[in-house]
Amino acid sequence: MKFGTKAVHAGVEPDPTTGAIMTPIYQTSTYVQAAPGVHKGYEYSRTGNPTRNALENAIAELENGKFGACFGSGLAATDCVLKMLKPGDEIISTNDLYGGSYRLFTKIYEGFGLKFHFVPMGDASAVRAKVNANTKLIWVETPTNPMMNVIDIKAMAEVAKEAGAMLVVDNTFATPALQQPLDLGADMVMHSVTKYLGGHSDVVMGALVTRDEKIAERMYFIQNSSGAVCGPMDSFLVLRGLKTLNIRMKQHCENGKIIANWLKDHPKVSKVYWPGFETHPNHEVAKKQMNGFGGMVSFTLKENTVEAATKVLSATHLFSLAESLGGVESLIGHPATMTHAAIPKEEREKTGVVDSLIRLSIGIEDADDLIADLSKALG
Ligand SMILES: *Cc1c(COP(=O)(O)O)cnc(C)c1O
């Protein structure tokens, strides 16, 4: 079955009691048992809830996986992966990492005895150089935020296999519509469902997907034991969001392409970061492992100051100034003072997050209107 069809039908069965075509919101904490231990598959909603389960199955199916688990946020999903490790274990992670993941790794889990190595993953040999007998996890995020670097998932899967480590890919930016990491050799996929999977900026949620039964057993055990689950109402909203994932991503990609190309020729713009350009350093990898280049575009100004960026950021109307991404509406953000404010200037500039860097999450509006908005703000 093709992806567009799967997006509409995945995980959803007519409700067994009423035939309702849409999965009802099972807003319940517990389930009545006929006799002790005699029940219909549900005992308590932390352990399992029909609305959440429908969503978990849907996301698993879209990622070509077998087992899905949903959490209260993307970071709660990441937290579950880290709980599979034990003190002394080592993790190799991309250096250009979502700030919240970096904080969780270094400020929480280093304190519990995990050791993290942050390396640029453009070159597999740099990753291999950090592998040792304690290496248990390789953490990849691609494309990265906000520099849009693309990491070769297949190459990382080879390194992980040699190391006997688990490969987990944060697939938040690409979504399964554009990239399916399990097919490329990853053991697990992580999502901030908050972003494109939900797609409407109205839910905070995370997800994990795997094909591996042993990993799944551990994942469900931790999900139930630690209890960072999402609620049935939010699960319902995301089930609804998934149905349009394929067409939304097509429109995000189309608008991304138009706007990246328009920015490239703008006299006030210095550099544009978008993996669809042939000149992008990882363009070949992106072309090989992705079905489209997404709707995230970053750019810098010739006048490389916070003030120049602030002028643009305060002058757009359709692009709202806000954190987050992946919704139907366009957002504009300033990594240096927003998402990456906690990183010292010298450190962030090493990865390209300079003072004038502006990040766009391009929505599904008409591209002409988005360009008119940016044109006015830049002018
Ligand atoms: C937002 C985000 C996260 C964290 O997800 P939350 O739902 O905010 O907890 C992780 N990775 C990436 C790439 C993100 O954009």
Ligand 1 atom with the shortest distance to the CA of 324:
1
**What does DSSP say about strands 331-333 and 320-321: parallel, antiparallel, or unpaired?**
parallel
pLDDT tens across 255-312, in order? 999 999 999 999 999 999 999 999 999 999 999 999 999 999 999 999 999 999 999 9
Answer whether 332's CB lies under 8 Å from 370's CB.
no
Tell me the two tokens of residue 226: 């630690």
CA-based end-to-end distance of the chain: 47
Quick one: pLDDT at residue 289?
Answer: 97
Quick one: pLDDT at residue 97?
Answer: 87
Which has the closest alpha carbon to 378: 313, 333, 330, 295?
313
Quick one: pLDDT at residue 340?
Answer: 83
pLDDT tens across 34-74, in order? 999 999 999 999 999 999 999 999 999 999 999 999 999 99
Ligand 1 atom with the shortest distance to the CA of 100:
4
Ligand 1 contact, 75 CB (< 6 A) = yes
Ligand 1 atom with the shortest distance to the CA of 75:
9
Task: Answer yes or no: is pLDDT of 150 > 80.
Answer: yes
* pLDDT band at residue 79 under the 50/70/90 scheme: very high
Ligand 1 contact, 296 CB (< 6 A) = no
Domains of the chain: 3-242 (3.40.640.10), 245-378 (3.90.1150.10)
Averaged pLDDT for residues 134-160 = 97
The overall average pLDDT reported for the chain is: 96
Quick one: pLDDT at residue 346?
Answer: 87
Quick one: pLDDT at residue 126?
Answer: 94
Task: Answer yes or no: is pLDDT of 110 > 90.
Answer: yes
Judge whether 96 counts as a catalytic residue: no
Place of tokens 């899905």: 68
Place of tokens 């991404």: 325
Residue whose CB lies within 8 A of the most ligand 1 atoms, among 173, 192, 202, 208, for a mutation test: 192
Answer whether 146's CB lies under 8 Å from 349's CB.
no
Percentage of the chain lying above the pLDDT 90 cut? 92
Place of tokens 């209260």: 72
Ligand 1 contact, 100 CB (< 6 A) = yes
pLDDT tens across 350-374, in order? 889 999 999 999 999 999 999 999 9
Which has the closest alpha carbon to 178: 63, 280, 68, 73?
63
Averaged pLDDT for residues 242-249 = 98
Task: Answer yes or no: is pLDDT of 342 > 80.
Answer: no
pLDDT tens across 304-319, in order? 999 999 999 999 999 9
Q: Which of 26, 98, 102, 109 is catalytic?
A: 98
Averaged pLDDT for residues 143-152 = 94
Spatial distance between the Cα atoms of 33 and 40, rounded to a whole number of angstroms? 8
DSSP SS3 for 334:
coil
Q: Which of 79, 96, 152, 170 is catalytic?
A: 170
Spatial distance between the Cα atoms of 52 and 239, rounded to a whole number of angstroms? 9
Protein residue closest via CA to atom 7 of ligand 1: 74
pLDDT tens across 160-177, in order? 999 999 999 999 999 999
